[in-house]
Amino acid sequence: MQDLSAPRTIVIAGGGSAGWMTAAACAHLLPAHLYRVALIESDAIGTVGVGEATIPQIRNFNQALGLDEDAFLRATGGTFKLGIEFVGWGAPGERYLHAFGDVGRDSALHAFHHLWLRARAGGDVRPLGDYALNDLAARAARMQRGAARTARILPEMPYAFHFDAALYARMLRRFVEARGVMRHEGRIVRVERAGESGDVTALLLEGERRIAGDLFVDATGFRSLLLGETLGVGFEEWTRWLPCDRALAVPSARTGPLLPYTRATAHDAGWQWRIPLQHRTGNGVVYSSAHWSDDAAADHLLANLDGAAEADPRPIRFTTGKRARMWAHNVVALGLAAGFMEPLESTSLHLVQSTIARLLKLLPGAAAGDAVRDAFNAQADEEWTRIRDFLILHYHANARDGDFWRACRDAALPDTLAAKLALWREEAGVVRAGEELFTDVAWIQVLIGQGVIPRRWHPLADAPSQAEMAEYLDLIHQLSAREVAQMPDHAAFVAAHCAARAGAR
């Protein structure tokens, strides 16, 4: 009979955002008399730490920890994020926003975009983003929280954050250590395993220190020390669809207006990000080494900064893909140890968050059996695969010249994405698979934003007269525009609620 009163030990190998987010969730949500949490981290091992843009689900994680939002933003130099602007992905110079939240207002039987497509075919319609509250607010650099002020028909505006990932990890470390989590400093030099089961039993650190545990979380980054190196779990490579394999990251001085959105600008061999924080701007280029040299990438990055560079560009090499299993034996991998999804849609920290939630939901009382691990791995596989497809869409649906972009456009698609695109092109249909992360509206914004226009729309969108349709579309736009007009400026909103103290970093 299992002794439920004996506390079990969860050992987290690695710090950074992934490790400290895991420690924070376990320390705050698991009963202290049932679970002990230990984290191993070496100051000599750096973290990638470029994940500064998020999606709205991060708010759920912070709220679950009881973190005050304004205090969190002050501590991390954070700003608000209403969406992502994509520049030059359809064709050079074109731009659109993947804005969080709704676009327009759906009818009982068909989505708003069907009516918009009908109006577009008639040649008299505003851009799709003009019917989205978040899109209009982002472009006007305005921000508010809570219910709409001017019309109850409008939804509350969803938002995420830009923040300094290193400062976030530092804040979570303070949060965790105040709750009794033990941090062990040092490199892991050996992994002990049980002879019969093959489970990990302890991690050996420099100085002959031994950290034993029952469940191990691998947050060791690209090395994947526990799941990959020790347990030999293979890696599924996705470079045939997502060919970028390198990045350079550099901070620059903050200049210009404080925009409430991330920007992803396509270039000859990939794309460049821009993430506005209170104290600086985060920048980087993601590129294919088969099409650009490191020097060419660095030259492009430094020539396209808004402000002066505050450091030398930091190189990052990666292979897009994931581990074949993310839970094997008594080891669960997350963050870069589980796989790498390039940051085009700001999913890095979300994948950490969703892995933590999945682990806590399926947390075994004793040693995990195959059923638990299989359920965990199946859910993880579905989540990663669907996000992968969404990223591939951006590359596939391009109208740019050049070898890199032609190769992306011509690459054979995964069956799951091919089926999704076929339904869209045929009937403007989007079907969300299971609990996949990105909503129908997200897919629609990218598809239309990059010029993938379907042949038909839902027949019920033909029901209103031309005048009724025009009046309805104009009303949706005017209601959203009026709401945005009364919002405060984003920079003023940050200054009023969550300005970081000078020198606090």
| pLDDT tens figures, 223-256 | 999 999 999 999 999 999 999 999 999 999 998 8
Residues 281-316 pLDDT 10s: 999 999 999 999 999 999 999 999 999 999 999 999
Burial class (CB in 10 A: 0-12, 13-18, 19+), 319: middle
Do 284 and 249 touch, CB atoms closer than 8 A? yes
Region 155-181: mean pLDDT is 95
Residues 7-50 pLDDT 10s: 899 999 999 999 999 999 999 999 999 999 999 998 876 655 55
Helices and strands: H and E segment counts in the chain:
14, 21
Is the model's pLDDT at 131 over the cut of 90? yes
The packing angle between helices 348-361 and 16-29, to 10°, is 30
Region 457-485: mean pLDDT is 96
Please give the pLDDT value at position 48: 54
Is the model's pLDDT at 107 over the cut of 90? no
**81 is known as an active-site residue:** yes
First vs last C-alpha separation in the chain = 51
The mean of the pLDDT values for the chain is 94
Is the model's pLDDT at 2 over the cut of 80? no
**Identity at 466, one-letter amino acid code:** Q
Is the model's pLDDT at 503 over the cut of 60? no
Burial class (CB in 10 A: 0-12, 13-18, 19+), 341: buried
Residues 335-350 pLDDT 10s: 999 999 999 999 999 9
Q: Which of 81, 322, 361, 420 is catalytic?
A: 81
Is the model's pLDDT at 365 over the cut of 90? no
Please give the pLDDT value at position 331: 98
Residues 75-84 pLDDT 10s: 999 999 999 9
Its sign, for the CA torsion 212, 215, 220, 223, is positive
Please give the pLDDT value at position 51: 53
Please give the pLDDT value at position 1: 40
Is the model's pLDDT at 505 over the cut of 90? no
Its sign, for the CA torsion 400, 406, 407, 413, is positive
Please give the pLDDT value at position 369: 86
